[in-house]
Amino acid sequence: MKRNLSAFIATLAWIAVLTQYYLMIQNRVESTTETTIRFFSFFTILTNSLVAVFFTLNLMRPKTGEHSIPDRPGTLTAVTVYITVVGLVYQVILRQTWEPTGLQKIIDELLHSVIPVLVIVFWYLYEKKSSLKFSQIPKWLIYPLLYLFYVLIRGSISGFYPYPFINVAAIGWQKVMVNSAGITVLFLVISAVFVKFGKSRVFL
């Protein structure tokens, strides 16, 4: 069951990411190079790619897997936190900002709804919850913080910001900093929730 679910999530994530890239290239208004850079400037794309890689490695890991990346304590929870934030931010903030149709709508739902739910289910079933510690949370924040620095620096150079709540050109630095602090708090809260509930008897 675990291997089959890993394969399903990995396959779905690869399909969603690659199809989204195809759609962006087909509808590009910039060069292929610039479109590709912008594609990988979306936290949704990077995180779903991370999910695809994680579950692919999960399929390839040795049977005694303590030495493999997917089996390192907290790794699955970190990935789950990231994709959970992707889903929450989209549902609460971004869903109403556009109305995709056709294939784009299907891929949109896979990236922001279906895959996050599947990863959470996998976490519930298979994470080694007794190994989770609140002290791991600062390490989990490195990825989203590096992402934030990257998009803000590149945005100041290129003028492209992947999300409206970090669009300095449109809302200014002060609002962006407030929004960024809010998103950082969201990561902290979601991380703490997974650790807390993971260690509670409800999940034993």
Tens of pLDDT, residue by residue over 88-125, are 999 999 999 888 999 999 999 999 999 999 999 999 99
Q: Please give the pLDDT value at position 66.
A: 53
What pLDDT is recorded for position 202?
53
53 φ/ψ angles, rounded to the nearest 5 degrees: -65, -45
Going residue by residue through the chain, which has 204 residues, state the pLDDT in tens, using 9 for 90 and above: 888 999 999 999 999 999 999 999 999 989 999 999 999 999 999 999 999 999 999 888 765 455 677 778 899 999 999 999 999 999 999 999 888 999 999 999 999 999 999 999 999 999 988 889 999 999 999 999 999 999 999 999 999 999 999 999 999 999 999 999 999 999 999 999 999 988 785 554
pLDDT of residue 67: 60
Closest CA to 85 of 126, 58, 51, 54: 51
Cα–Cα dist 52/46, whole Å: 10
pTM: 0.93
